[in-house]
Structure 1
Amino acid sequence: MFVLEDLTVTYPDGTRAVEGVSFRLAPGESAVLAGANGAGKSSLILAAVGVLPSTGMVCADGVTLEKKNLAELRRRVGVLFQNPDDQLFSATIYDDIAFGPRNMGLSAEETERRVSEALALLGIEYLRGKTALKLSGGEKRLAALASVLAMKPSVLLFDEPTAFLDPRARRNLIKIMNGLPQTKLIASHDLPFAGAVASRAIVLKRGRLFADGAAREILRDEKLMEEGGL
């Protein structure tokens, strides 16, 4: 279970990027987080793992977002950032994926097992010894996702996952995401993509919860989308 209650993010200048947002995702549920530019999608994603300070409550599988629990929460909640280069910084993709398990203090054998499993799951074993500098946008996206999956999170947060992807890589990502068993919250402007990977739509407008319901209904409601700024 992934729960947000009255989540509020206020920037130093007093701007409320997210204001009083509450919702919960059931285990295995997949939801798109939609909204216009500036609606608060990225701020919500970053606040949910403590990158941005917030008030309210975030809870993943019974672990709440508090300073003493931050490391444990981040083991349970993995984030795929909008720019995969933010997550790929090592000499090889293997080392990028191994970074998290190593920092958890896992053995070399367990780290190897997790890296190999993540590469195999995404069908990118051939990237193992390559550098991110030589990869396409789609390959970078999958390598960054592998680095998240190696941590074995139960919740996955995606920030604009189709950014930088060509149509073929986008189709491949849809197939992969639909095969992942984790609870997923997907911030995206790409509404056709959202409809292909999510059963629920949560819409933000000016930092507030504007709509929440079945994706097939909300994303096809032209009046609601227009009112929501989409």
Structure 2
Amino acid sequence: MQVVFNDVSVTYAGRVVLQPFSLRLTERRIGIIGLNGSGKSTFSKMINGLVLPDTGTVTTNGFDARQQAHEVRARVGYVFQHPANQIVLPLIKDDMALGLKRLRLTRQEEERAVSDVAARLGISHLLERRAHELSGGEVQLAALASVLVGAPEIVIMDEPTNQLDLRNRNMVSRTIRSLPEDIIVITHDLELLSGFERVLLFHEGRIVEDGPAEVVIARYQELVG
């Protein structure tokens, strides 16, 4: 992972969402924490060009998020906070295949790619199912599969364990830890970040702590009292 923020800031409707900052991300496992409205999601969406900065530049694995948006989005997969909303086709296998259309593969190649990713995540039994039939954890993994089938270099996950029961939370957590891709996780689930190489703490539009998981989590707990 090589994500570089150079003198970046973001303003919405006259309100400063992110104060100017410069930063380089190179670790394989990065967590993002902070109170709601602190700028976490805005920060993460700049990495794949979903949000563009008002000042400065963002480059992701060598590509400028503003000038080379297509190349950036091909390399960064994003699983949103409400993953069911990004599953747009009825059957899970068809939704996964949708992400391959830009590659112009044969039908057989599409089916093989879908099958391989589903097997890797342990969800082959879900391919013929519909999103509304799945548990919360299964929906999260299905949305992740639809992202991974496009072979991204970086995967961003926004609140991947939000509102999951313990069984589903543990299933998703184990999957995240097993992924070979570079991972950025936005979460309130502090236990999920155990062992992460780097965690960023956002507060009121600023990065107020940046370091190993245990150090930054302790600072966050002090901050919120």
TM over 0.5: yes
1:163 deviates by 1.1
Quick check: 1:3 aligned with 2:4? yes
1:199 deviates by 2.3
CA contact (8 A) 1:7 1:20 kept: yes
Which residue identity is paired with 1:92?
A: L
1:128-168 deviations in Å (ceiling 9; x for gaps) = 11111111111100000001101111111111111131111
Q: 1:58 aligns to what?
A: 58
Distance 2:157 2:113 in 1: 21
Q: 1:139 aligns to what?
A: 138
Moved over 4 A (4+): none
CA contact (8 A) 1:40 1:207 kept: yes
CA contact (8 A) 1:162 1:170 kept: yes
Q: How does 1:74-93 map to 2 (within 5 A)?
A: 74-93=73-92
Distance 2:20 2:182 in 1: 22
Q: 2:172 aligns to what?
A: 173
Distance 1:53 1:162 in 2: 27
Q: 1:158 aligns to what?
A: 157
TM superposition score normalised by structure 2: 0.92
Which residue identity is paired with 1:51?
A: L
Distance 1:5 1:83 in 2: 30
1:168-220 deviations in Å (ceiling 9; x for gaps) = 11111121111111111111111112225x2211111111111101112222x
Distance 1:90 1:14 in 2: 38
Q: 2:193 aligns to what?
A: 194
CA contact (8 A) 2:8 2:20 kept: yes
Distance 1:16 1:48 in 2: 18
CA contact (8 A) 1:3 1:60 kept: yes
Q: 1:211 aligns to what?
A: 209
For the structure 1 residues 57 and 107, does the alpha-carbon distance in structure 2 shift closer, same or farther, using more than 3 Å as the test?
farther
Q: 1:225 aligns to what?
A: 220
For the structure 1 residues 226 and 126, does the alpha-carbon distance in structure 2 shift closer, same or farther, using more than 3 Å as the test?
closer
Distance 1:91 1:8 in 2: 39
For the structure 1 residues 78 and 63, does the alpha-carbon distance in structure 2 shift closer, same or farther, using more than 3 Å as the test?
same
Distance 2:224 2:216 in 1: 13
TM superposition score normalised by structure 1: 0.90
Distance 1:150 1:116 in 2: 9
Q: How does 1:96-111 map to 2 (within 5 A)?
A: 96-111=95-110
CA contact (8 A) 2:52 2:65 kept: no
For the aligned residue pairs, the C-alpha RMSD in angstroms reads 1.7
Q: 2:42 aligns to what?
A: 43
Distance 1:182 1:193 in 2: 17
For the structure 1 residues 175 and 163, does the alpha-carbon distance in structure 2 shift closer, same or farther, using more than 3 Å as the test?
same
1:110 deviates by 2.7
CA contact (8 A) 2:99 2:150 kept: yes
Q: 1:116 aligns to what?
A: 115
1:227 deviates by 5.4
Distance 2:205 2:95 in 1: 33
CA contact (8 A) 2:64 2:72 kept: yes
Which residue identity is paired with 1:225?
A: Y
1:22-62 deviations in Å (ceiling 9; x for gaps) = 332226x1011011111111111223222223232222221
Q: Specify the SS of the correspondent of 2:45.
A: helix
For the structure 1 residues 226 and 91, does the alpha-carbon distance in structure 2 shift closer, same or farther, using more than 3 Å as the test?
closer
Structure 1 spans left out of the alignment, 5+ residues: none
CA contact (8 A) 2:45 2:51 kept: yes
> What number of residue pairs does the alignment pair up?
223
